[in-house]
Amino acid sequence: MTKVIGLTGGIGSGKTTISRYFEEMGVPVYIADDGAKKVMQSEKIIKQIKTTFGDAIFENNILDRAKLAEIVFKDKEKLSQLNAIVHPAVKEDFEAWLLRHENCQYVIYEAAILFESGRYKECDLVITVTAPEEVRIERVLKRDNTTRDHVLSRMKMQWDDEKRISGSNFVINNDNLKKAKEEVVKILKILNIKQNRS
């Protein structure tokens, strides 16, 4: 049976880069954020988002994700409402994806809010990716062309590293990409040993 390895980390930790390393080494990766973008284009989800958040976040019937993010990352209750709409659809999408990879020993499920959403309970193992806070902030400022305050407000919405690490089987420190890649190789060796013994 395919084992699901949850991979998580705070905004700017570089978890998608780490996911790509696993992918390069032959491990299929499902990125929950990409899954969310996909399901948020479906008529059913668009209708639910319109009902909850109104028409102002749509332009020519196309969801303005930046406007929606502006709303939900300032208000925990609104973020919970959005998650209640999107998460079940992402779960369904992942389960269909998993069926297509049922012959794999293990797959990676990458999600920023793996713990916050409770999805970690459905994973066999969890990897947390960490990086110093300033490094994370700089990465997001460069990537998203946003403000420091916006990055900090998003960080506050997520668990801190200490809390994530306490629920993880492996930790990858991603402030040096070469060393982080070496950690991926080490984890793969350990996982292969476990597979062979089970």
Q: Smallest Cα–Cα separation from 172: which of 154, 184, 163?
A: 184
Q: Is 12 annotated as a binding residue?
A: yes
Q: Could you give the angle at which helices 133-144 and 148-157 cross, rounded to 10 degrees?
A: 120
Q: Is 14 annotated as a binding residue?
A: yes
Q: Measure the CA–CA gap between 168 and 125, rounded to whole angstroms.
A: 7
Q: Measure the CA–CA gap between 3 and 117, rounded to whole angstroms.
A: 19
The identity of residue 133, as a single letter, is E
What separation in angstroms does the CA of 53 have from each of 45, 84, 180?
A: 12, 13, 40
Q: Is 13 annotated as a binding residue?
A: yes
Q: Measure the CA–CA gap between 40 and 28, rounded to whole angstroms.
A: 23
Q: Is 128 annotated as a binding residue?
A: no
- Per the structure block, which two tokens stand in for 54? 């109104």
Q: Measure the CA–CA gap between 188 and 54, rounded to whole angstroms.
A: 46
Q: Is 2 annotated as a binding residue?
A: no
Q: Measure the CA–CA gap between 86 and 79, rounded to whole angstroms.
A: 10
Q: Is 26 annotated as a binding residue?
A: no
Chain centroid offset of residue 182 CA: 21
- Per the structure block, which two tokens stand in for 22? 């696993």
Q: Give the residue ranges of the annotated binding site.
A: 12-17
Q: Give the residue ranges of the annotated binding site for ATP.
A: 12-17
